[in-house]
Amino acid sequence: MTPQQFFRPDILAERAYHVPPAHGLIKLDAMENPYTWPPEMVEGWLDHLRSAHPNRYPDPQAPALKQALRDYARIPDEAGLLLGNGSDEIILILLTALVGQGGAKVLAPEPTFVMYRQIARWLDVEFVGVPLRPDFTLDAGAMMEALQRQRPRIVFLAYPNNPTGNLFDKNVVAEIILKAPGLVVMDEAYAPFAQSTFMGDLGRHDNLLVMRTLSKLGLAGLRLGYLAGSKEWLDQFDKLRLPYNINILTQSSAEFALSHSEVFERQTAQIRQDREKLARALGRLPGIEVFPSAANFILFRVDGASRVFDALKRRGILIKNLDPAGGPLQNCLRVTVGTPEENLRFVETLREILP
């Protein structure tokens, strides 16, 4: 038997998720927090890890970490909590529940986070994309029509949206939650930068789930995501979670990091401030269309985006090229907000490249 005989044709046609090498480059492509931990915090972390026992399996329920997350994210006491190896695993768990349910569909406005569609495709679950308006806002009429016609079991709403960076209208989102025939998952990966959340609405809507990650906060290397919502729902999803999915070093490190939340609050406040400065600087460049962002990145459009992307990379700056996706993202690039020095270098280099 060969792989061509073993795998489905659509899997054979796929490409593995590609992470471009960034060695020696200013890395502004992956929405990471550019700041490291203060030296004294690093020393405290290493001392904290001395109490970890990597020869033992981690606690599969991670009660101490869950309590730290509840305190940090202000998760309602009555809400259930599910942990994942990043948000990607949580999306996988959610969509795995649809496998075998003939005709079950998942829906999201597009363009959005690619893993909703990607994981649905892997699991052979039908994905329905509803186009955003040209300005990347929600098309309320199209969303309501799709809810009624497609009857999705799960709706994903990235808030703020990735890769566009904007917050969807809360009134439209509230209407979607009320009219959705199934679950609505608010993906709040960029909550530290948005200062807007649906976490407090969990008790008012049984079909609402809020998904977050610590990656954008500054813990991307730990791979920790979490899902909050009705305990009745999360108890069932927990049955699909692999045992020991959150390793002992991630549990211990995240608990320690969250006990120093003031460090991350200072860093995210700096990033929010620098985001506005970077947006203004980009807006002053000729031929640049800047889209509003409530995340730690900025989407902008420029003629010849792929050429600009390549020119930046040759000059040592890596951002995200969305131009190959075409459609509403044609000629679009996305840049992560870096340190002030990195942002300045990016803008000055971009100015040199533009005609």
Low-confidence residues in the chain, pLDDT < 70: none
CATH code where residue 106 lies: 3.40.640.10
Give strand pairing partners of 156. 185
41 within some domain: no
Residues 300, 321 within the same domain: yes
User: Which of 259, 276, 309 marks a domain boundary?
Assistant: 259
39 within some domain: no
Residues 217, 317 within the same domain: no
Residues 93, 62 within the same domain: yes
Q: What is the pLDDT of residue 90?
A: 98
Q: What whole-number distance in Å separates Cα of residue 126 and Cα of residue 102? A: 10
Domains: count for the chain: 2
Residues 215, 344 within the same domain: no
Q: What whole-number distance in Å separates Cα of residue 350 and Cα of residue 315? A: 10
CATH code where residue 312 lies: 3.90.1150.10
Residues 159, 233 within the same domain: yes
What residues make up the domain containing 312? Answer: 3-30+262-353
User: Which of 259, 292, 315 marks a domain boundary?
Assistant: 259
Residues 198, 309 within the same domain: no
pLDDT tens for 12-51 read 888 888 788 888 899 999 999 999 999 999 999 999 999 9
pLDDT tens for 273-325 read 999 999 999 999 999 999 999 999 999 999 999 999 999 999 999 999 999 99
Identify the burial level of 150 via C-beta atoms within 10 angstroms of its C-beta, where 0-12 means exposed, 13-18 middle and 19 or more buried. middle
Q: What is the pLDDT of residue 50?
A: 95
Q: What whole-number distance in Å separates Cα of residue 82 and Cα of residue 273? A: 32
Residues 246, 301 within the same domain: no
Q: Provide the whole-model pTM.
A: 0.95
36 within some domain: no
The dihedral through the CA atoms of 28, 29, 33, 38 has a sign that is negative
